[in-house]
Amino acid sequence: MAGTRVRRLLRALAVVLPAALVVPAPAASAADFSPGSAGLGDPYFPLAGNGGYDVAHYSLVFSYQPATRQFDGTATITATATQNLSRFDLDLRGFDVDRLTVNGAAASYTRAGQELVITPAAGLTAGALFTVVVGYAGIPSVVTDPDGSIEGWVPTDDGAFVVGEPQGSPAWYPANDNPRDKATYEFTATVPAGITVMANGVLDSRTTTGGRTTWVWRATSPMAPYLATATLGRFDLTETTAPGGIPAYVAVDPTLSTGNVLRKLPDIVDFYASIYGPYPFEAVGAIVDDAPDVGYSLETQTKPVFDRMPDEATLAHELSHMWYGDSVTLTEWPDIWLHEGFATWSEWIWSEHTGRKSAHNYFKTLYNTPAQDTAFWTPPPGDPGSPEFLFNGTIYNRGGMTLQALREKIGDGAFFGIMRRWATAHRHGNVTTPQFIALAEQVSGMQLDHFFDVWLYQPDKPTSW
């Protein structure tokens, strides 16, 4: 729209101004605008994310009624076109869309599976900032993944457990659902009074009127869409200040016995900051829900979410993901070992640091698994082979072992240097395995092709490296 208006103005000016003063408008005809692609071509989730634009900010305003599961939302998305766009997609699963505007003008749209296909009234020029508003309502969905696990908006007895890895976020908000498109977020969630909403970032306000409470959270660091949460229900919320002065939010479902594990959170974060570099986000914390049917915890940014009271290793695992996974994020899903191998090794180094079992001994115990146990050794961590195996045990175990084997091959000095540089050089960015291998070779001064091939890509138990 804006582009068209400017061109009309220039034509009007041409009547009264000398021709030399008039900057010719770029000749943009309808033929110069084309649709953005329906996906970004991820090997496992080709339709996740969309082509032709880059999101800067999501403002998600919604209300939710746990009793009826009714969700009413308005998403305002600010993005920059990266090509001349005649049409573009957002990812959204289910819901009725009742309003859709682009730059304030009604836009037409169609639905095709997870694609919300939007045709703005006028083409969007490459480089232009634009705003999409989507009004949507309905019952948010639970997504079943290729490995059979559930994600998305998972109802609990008192609210919902909200997790989006790898493809659940469009179950509750329209997104460019690809880890490459990080953005900032604001969440404004209205729920019955007594219900706590735990979203990412810093708690800006909570206001109760007429039996309803509105929670406003701001996530000011770039975040991949799958790391967003708005887990809600009855929670005891403790707000403190973590070392370094950032706010810490720990929410625990009151039906769970608390134990002592959550008291270790500041020490764990401090320890990882000491070896991986400064904590990368504006807030820290944990959301501990009673949702055992989910069967896993997730490193939702700034506040990992747990389906039950975690043990210390699980708490350490998820907190380490703030560096490896959330701040330093894979570019494509087959590189998932860059998250899970790193978080598994992080469990071991925390154990070693606290004087318990060493990372070397974790490695040794696992390495004793016989080569004939192919379910333990295959698929190799660098090549899961199919989305069904994204979160297979080998990605975690062999991934962690890869790092410990690297540590023992190149020595602690080079190894910890690599871990720190990986986290700081790619802070808030996206990475690939070849980049990690190149960094390891650069810092160690060693040729490591054979090492990484054996550990990451060969299906058999590594025997020499």
CA distance 276 to 368: 29
Residue 90 touching Zn ion (CB under 5 A): no
Task: Between 42 and 340, name the residue whose CB sits nearer to Zn ion.
Answer: 340
- Which of 231, 228, 218 lies closest to 282, judged by CA? 218
Residue nearest to Zn ion (CB): 343
For Zn ion, the binding residues in 302-341 under the rule CB under 5 A are: 340
- Between 124 and 338, name the residue whose CB sits nearer to Zn ion: 338
Stretch of 171-179, 235-243, 271-279, 343-351 lying at the interface with Zn ion (CB under 5 A): 343-351
**Does residue 140 have a cis peptide bond before it, meaning omega lies within 30 degrees of 0?**
no
Residue 218 vs 339, nearer CB to Zn ion: 339
Q: Give the shortest CB-340-to-Zn ion separation in angstroms.
A: 5
Nearer to Zn ion, 338 or 343 (CB): 343
Closest approach, Cβ 382 to Zn ion, in A, equals 16
Q: How far is the CB of 339 from Zn ion (least distance, A)?
A: 6
Residue with smaller CB distance to Zn ion, 343 or 454: 343
CB 317, min distance to Zn ion, A? 6
Give whichever of 86 and 344 is closer to Zn ion, judged by the CB atom.
344
Closer to Zn ion by CB, 226 or 451: give it: 226
Q: Is 343 in the site for Zn ion (CB under 5 A)?
A: yes
* CB 440 to Zn ion: min, Å: 21
Please state the closest distance from residue 349 (CB atom) to Zn ion, in A: 15
Specify the residue, 24 or 148, whose C-beta has the smaller distance to Zn ion: 148
C-alpha dihedral over 388, 389, 391, 392, to 10 degrees? Answer: 130
CB of 320 to Zn ion, least distance (A): 8
CB 421 to Zn ion: min, Å: 22
On the CB side of 263, CA atoms within 13 Å amount to 3
Residues binding Zn ion: number (CB under 5 A): 2
- Residues lying near Zn ion in the complex (CB under 5 A) are found at 340, 343
